[in-house]
Structure 1
Amino acid sequence: MKKSAPIIMGILFIIVVIAGFFISSYNGIVSAEENVDGQFAAVETQLQRRFDLIPNLVNATKGYMEHEKEVFTSIADSRAKLAGAKTINDKVEASNELEGALSRLLMITENYPALKADAQFQTLMDELAGTENRISVERNRYNESVKMFNSKIRKFPTSVVARLMGVEKRDYFEAQSGAEQAPNVEF
């Protein structure tokens, strides 16, 4: 009986170490996942800010650009798509589509000097520029948290716990294709 006590203690020690590893890994994965979700919520907050600014921007420009209906239609459609997006990928796609529509609107405003001089329009443009900067910062933070999360769940031995939890890699918030090229603005 006395000889089996060290063996039992050794087995219990190994079980405690393994249980501690699984608990630690599980908690680390949960924390990293919550960080990713929190960062995406910060992106969504800024996207909502932009979403709320757009009607004011459109209303400020409509009086000057009555024959540019397709741009306004594109913005409205993109806003509706963003409002109805459920998954992260759908939100990313809708956000990129809305950015493209806004870019077209801003390129067209170059043809309207009176609009560019309008104080309300200038204020809205400043707000939009600030919002776009905030979105960029939050996207970068989100992508950094996704990078850390994906790295964590792919490293052994934590990857074993991640598989048992059914945790999968998260997608990055990527720019739309063609975003690396500057738009062509002609006057």
Structure 2
Amino acid sequence: MEIALIIVLVVLVILAIVVIVQFNRLRTLAVACDEGLSQIDVQLQRRADLIPNLVETVKGYASHERKVFEDVTKARAAVGSAKTVNEIAAADNQLTAALRGLLAVAEAYPDLKASANFIQLQEELGATENRVAFARQYYNDQVRAINTALTTIPGNFVGPIAKVTEREFYEVEEVSDRATPEVKFG
């Protein structure tokens, strides 16, 4: 009888250790996903903060391009109000398209393309686009890790206990939107 009790206790202790380790792992992965999404927000806000300077620079040369400026302003506002992964991705897509339009307008003005301020803003925008891409990749890597952990044993049993659920990947809507805005120098 004593041996059976010891075996049961050992099995229960091992099971408790497995649950605790998996619980902590899932919570750590959830925090990493939240961090990844936060980094996307930070980089999109950085990009959005560059836009007023870029718009003002372009306006100095192409003030009659009102629709382009309105599109950029609307897209910038959408980034600030997005909350869910899908809303953030949609706002990112909208802002990318608006920036493409703004940079296309700039192509028609050689003096603007030669402006030191415009060149500096384009360089900053290009660097920020790289940061956005890195943040997206980091987030998606974390989502893959947490979703894999939640769909395998013992994660699929411990996930509900840890109150951790599967996350959505950050996706760009159309293949044509996957490219960053083209930045040309003269």
TM-score (ref. length: structure 1): 0.90
Deviation at 1:108, TM superposition (A): 1.6
- The count of residues paired between Structure 1 and Structure 2 equals 180
Distance in 2, Cα, partners of 1:113 & 1:145 = 44
Give the structure 2 partner of residue 9 of structure 1: 6
Distance in 2, Cα, partners of 1:86 & 1:64 = 35
Deviation at 1:45, TM superposition (A): 1.7
* Cα shift readout 1:116-149 (whole Å, capped 9, x = no counterpart): 0111111101110111011111211111111111
Deviation at 1:178, TM superposition (A): 4.0
Deviation at 1:166, TM superposition (A): 3.9
Unaligned regions of 5+ residues in structure 1, if any? Answer: none
Distance in 2, Cα, partners of 1:20 & 1:130 = 45
Give the structure 1 partner of residue 176 of structure 2: 179
Give the structure 1 partner of residue 120 of structure 2: 123
Of structures 1 and 2, the larger Rg is shown by 1
Deviation at 1:40, TM superposition (A): 1.8
Could you say what secondary structure the match of 2:176 adopts?
coil
Code of the aligned partner of 2:174 = S
Question: Runs (4+) of structure 1 moved beyond 3 Å?
Answer: 163-166, 180-183
Would the alpha carbon gap of residues 173 and 181 (structure 1) be closer, same or farther in structure 2, given more than 3 Å must change? closer
> Does residue 11 of structure 2 align to residue 24 of structure 1?
no
* Cα shift readout 1:89-125 (whole Å, capped 9, x = no counterpart): 2111111111110011111211111110111111101
Give the structure 2 partner of residue 91 of structure 1: 88
Give the structure 1 partner of residue 100 of structure 2: 103
Deviation at 1:70, TM superposition (A): 0.6
Give the structure 2 partner of residue 153 of structure 1: 150
Deviation at 1:74, TM superposition (A): 0.7
What does residue range 56-75 of structure 1 map to in structure 2 within 5 Å?
Answer: 56-75=53-72
Match for 1:33 among 20, 30, 33? 30
Distance in 2, Cα, partners of 1:144 & 1:86 = 20
Distance in 2, Cα, partners of 1:158 & 1:63 = 57
Could you say what secondary structure the match of 2:165 adopts?
coil
Distance in 1, Cα, partners of 2:78 & 2:177 = 23
Match for 2:43 among 20, 24, 46? 46
TM-score (ref. length: structure 2): 0.90
Could you say what secondary structure the match of 1:156 adopts?
coil
Code of the aligned partner of 2:24 = N
Deviation at 1:51, TM superposition (A): 1.1
* Cα shift readout 1:71-103 (whole Å, capped 9, x = no counterpart): 111111111111111212211111111111001
Deviation at 1:167, TM superposition (A): 2.5
Deviation at 1:25, TM superposition (A): 0.8
